[in-house]
Structure 1
């Protein structure tokens, strides 16, 4: 075994690439696990030890959709695949950080930019890199990657902190704007089912307690959209402060901020059954038949059959992370693994079983969470411990954080960003994860209206955009549009040929309802104008199918340059 690796190492040391890109692409295309292992280590050292290498890593195209080739099973396969995954994650991370925009000053732009720029995935990606290093157990790789990832961590922390600070400023400087923000979670049911207006359909309202935006994007939404069709689009909302269940979730059900929570007798209440009933426009007696709310559904499914009949409005609350996470000391990777398992084994099967094609499904979260890091701890002095939580101080004057109050009877000083509060009398080990404060990780939540799909299919649309007229030698970009109008994920192999010669290829994962643009650069040549693009893709129940498109590059003939010798005319000058 050591001989094979030594031979592969000697072979790889003789490799010469025209560019860092060539080396990275070769790593993904190589089929020998031993070569991948040695080449991966070589590239890692070269890329991360120079400014040019890091720039090339960040510019490695399509890294977020790159589909690693399968490798034959050998003693090196596991390590080879982990090395590939490590490089893909490092490339994605560098790309996102290189292109991170400054935080906007408006609430809506701040939330949307944070998500569209993939900044919400920075923490989980860094955690995955640390996890890969732990599993690789390779000192040589650790010595190269760890200093790099430490500098990356600092940059990521700085970017996230700036967004969190801007979020805190928006709320502190214009409290009325926050409480009337059209994307506050009190508006979700009005936006998605026009709460308060009569309707005939059966409605399922599902709350995934403690679900963060990174978990939503990584595995919840990709699995949901294969079986459910979105009506409209996924929207992002802000949780009600402080971001704890008893405030934010109840505000969602009530459709109102805490100061306006009233029962049928106009008395203050925190009863989510009464508040949701009123929000839906149901009478007091009517709600007993038309509304059914079940909490801790993950426990009840194991103990007894759920009974929702004859309710029209059926609410299921799944505790994905909120309770156990306060005692969890594992990494963010472990946290996400637990959440994924709960969603795939408990939540998703219940949705598939209970929701029918004619039903409406509204799915959302009530808040996210953050990781408490020692360097951001602030010890609170002179305030009773019962008034101090990790992310806020309640009903006691405090100089830090943002003041939050809805009626001047209750108030909170809410921590912003990574800052957290330590009580005077420390008892036991602090929690690693919590929620309640002002940060995008805690406050930004998804909400979507869905219907169950009646069939699963892949509908691939392949198009070549019109190519403008050019002259020989001009640079030409062939733009290819790929769209999956179907309902399930497909694996696509793209090839582009010019006059029969292969000039580009790419592999990607294309989920249902998503699109992808691929660009191939060539030089105009009047002798090679025929472009052929082929997309081979997987479909349910069969092995594969292929779509092909052709285009002609309009190369304008300029003609040959003719030179005329006029020297013979000189003899006439003296005549």
Structure 2
């Protein structure tokens, strides 16, 4: 460990000689001075790791010295030491961003603990995290061989996310690589699980809550007449991205319930989000609302009728409520809704579809600068967090809290960073998505996909009698043999959706009440 340099400022410094000797025996280097003025000069002339500062000194006070020290070196940790327990002094010191606050008389172990807390915390947390993950690694590996229900897959996926977020704060590339390999293995096993069980979920009532049932099962029961509810559907939001800004939301709201539902296949907006708002599977949408549903090969936008689908579902469920639907696809539209949000407090349900994360994933494919900014999952989370903290959506959520809205946050599907190509051949009518294909006479690598010869078995429309669907597993993406190398280099390491992965299919669903 590098030598830690401490500056201790106290007008009665001679009384602290035993403490200083104690620290020097622990290999800390301690310099001393007896006034705030001397302390300010000292940090100009030398570099220190931490300052212990007496509050009550002749000349300029400890609080005044603290202000000067922070102005010169904002990141220098300062521990305030005082005889006084007066609340205003504590508040002033905390407001000035002190690292710690100790009441005299202090004992050597208090000082040592404060040093550990402020200077060794990164190392100690890193060591503890590393040790804990090494123990957990074996358990996760064992769980991967045994997990066999949709509930267990949700728990395992949450566990992987937990460790991914824990490990991203420590500099141990070896452990991060081990976790990445566990995620890859988890998606291989999850693909097999979905292939074996997905069709069965439609044959009985023993499947999970899914895109087409989530409104009826989890949203409708939370809508109360006279009590406004805000439902926010953030397009393309993965579970780990929700975790990245969860703490910002919980500054204003307390969580009542957090759970996960499963996106239908394909995990694409046209299918999954329309299923949420219609309460129907795509095959049923095509049959019952042919004027509203568009297949992959049809011209025009595929998500232009969400409000109409929602109106039909609300009518079908017999919900006698006042409601409004808004879709935000630009900063200008977000700001406009934020300005007018108070007018929605009389509605029982306000539905807000927010498209930023979807735009981000598409921009990553198309724009080099975004490829740099979101080069991996950690950076992708960071970008999402930064967007959320500066977005009109946060303003809307703050207003909702003040107006007493219940808040529900969810999404339609997630995305996965695709790494490996899988060759596919189809005719010119084959759909364009990189994670699923529908068409006639598809040829593909059997091991890479879940193939569905009869789409009606999983309640998907077939454009003609011989149409089938294939869904890419894990982190694969479909590439045509023509111009293969260019295509692969363009799409590798981009965020895509439509296929089968934990990231795309396991969807966060959170109910919150205003604080």
1:120 matched to 2:120? The reply is no
- Cα–Cα, structure 1 residues 202 and 152, in superposed 2: closer, same or farther, change >3 Å? closer
Deviations 1:524-572 (A, max 9, x none): xxxxxxxxxxxxxxxxxxxxxxxxxxxxxxxxxxxxxxxxxxxxxxxxx
Tell me if structure 1 keeps the 8 A contact 2:417–2:494.
yes
Tell me if structure 1 keeps the 8 A contact 2:421–2:477.
yes
1:345 matched to 2:385? The reply is no
Residue in 2 aligned with 1:208?
234
Match of 2:259 among 235, 248, 251: 235
Residue in 2 aligned with 1:275?
309
Tell me if structure 1 keeps the 8 A contact 2:235–2:358.
yes
- Cα–Cα, structure 1 residues 245 and 265, in superposed 2: closer, same or farther, change >3 Å? closer
> Secondary structure, in 3 states, of the residue corresponding to 2:198?
helix
- Cα–Cα, structure 1 residues 91 and 391, in superposed 2: closer, same or farther, change >3 Å? farther
Residue in 1 aligned with 2:509?
447
Tell me if structure 1 keeps the 8 A contact 2:244–2:384.
no
The more displaced of 441-450 and 321-330 is: 321-330
> Secondary structure, in 3 states, of the residue corresponding to 2:387?
helix
Tell me if structure 1 keeps the 8 A contact 2:157–2:502.
no
Residue in 1 aligned with 2:150?
108
TM-score, length-scaled by structure 1? 0.55
CA distance in 2 between partners of 1:234 and 1:73 (Å): 32
Deviations 1:36-71 (A, max 9, x none): xxxxxxxxxxxxxxxxxxxxxxxxxxxxxxxxx875
CA distance in 1 between partners of 2:178 and 2:290 (Å): 56
CA distance in 2 between partners of 1:197 and 1:122 (Å): 35
Superposition pairs of residues 8-47 of structure 1, within 5 angstroms: none
Superposition pairs of residues 439-518 of structure 1, within 5 angstroms: 439-453=501-515
Residue in 2 aligned with 1:96?
136
Residue in 2 aligned with 1:412?
469
Tell me if structure 2 keeps the 8 A contact 1:394–1:413.
yes
Residue in 2 aligned with 1:321?
357
CA distance in 2 between partners of 1:149 and 1:448 (Å): 28
- Cα–Cα, structure 1 residues 348 and 146, in superposed 2: closer, same or farther, change >3 Å? closer
CA distance in 2 between partners of 1:229 and 1:371 (Å): 31
- Cα–Cα, structure 1 residues 96 and 186, in superposed 2: closer, same or farther, change >3 Å? farther
> Secondary structure, in 3 states, of the residue corresponding to 1:99?
helix
Residue in 1 aligned with 2:434?
390
Deviations 1:69-121 (A, max 9, x none): 875999xx6xx6654554344334323322211355654333333246x1234
Tell me if structure 2 keeps the 8 A contact 1:388–1:421.
no
1:278 CA drift (Å) = 1.5
Superposition pairs of residues 188-207 of structure 1, within 5 angstroms: 188-194=214-220, 199-207=225-233
> Secondary structure, in 3 states, of the residue corresponding to 2:352?
strand
1:197 CA drift (Å) = 8.8
> Secondary structure, in 3 states, of the residue corresponding to 2:144?
coil
Residue in 2 aligned with 1:542?
none
- Cα–Cα, structure 1 residues 264 and 245, in superposed 2: closer, same or farther, change >3 Å? closer
Residue in 1 aligned with 2:451?
403
CA distance in 2 between partners of 1:82 and 1:201 (Å): 45
Residue in 2 aligned with 1:166?
193
Q: How many residues align?
A: 371
1:439 CA drift (Å) = 0.9
- Structure 2, unmatched stretches of 5+, are 6-22, 28-47, 51-112, 294-302, 365-369
> Secondary structure, in 3 states, of the residue corresponding to 2:508?
strand
Decide which structure has greater helix share: 2
Comparing both chains, which one has the higher relative contact order based on Cα–Cα distances under 8 Å and sequence gaps of 6 or more? 2
Tell me if structure 2 keeps the 8 A contact 1:188–1:447.
no
The more displaced of 360-369 and 437-446 is: 360-369
Tell me if structure 1 keeps the 8 A contact 2:436–2:471.
yes
1:295 matched to 2:328? The reply is yes
- Cα–Cα, structure 1 residues 202 and 377, in superposed 2: closer, same or farther, change >3 Å? same
- Cα–Cα, structure 1 residues 125 and 331, in superposed 2: closer, same or farther, change >3 Å? farther
1:415 CA drift (Å) = 1.0
- Structure 1, unmatched stretches of 5+, are 13-31, 35-68, 134-144, 454-575
CA distance in 1 between partners of 2:503 and 2:382 (Å): 18
Residue in 2 aligned with 1:63?
none
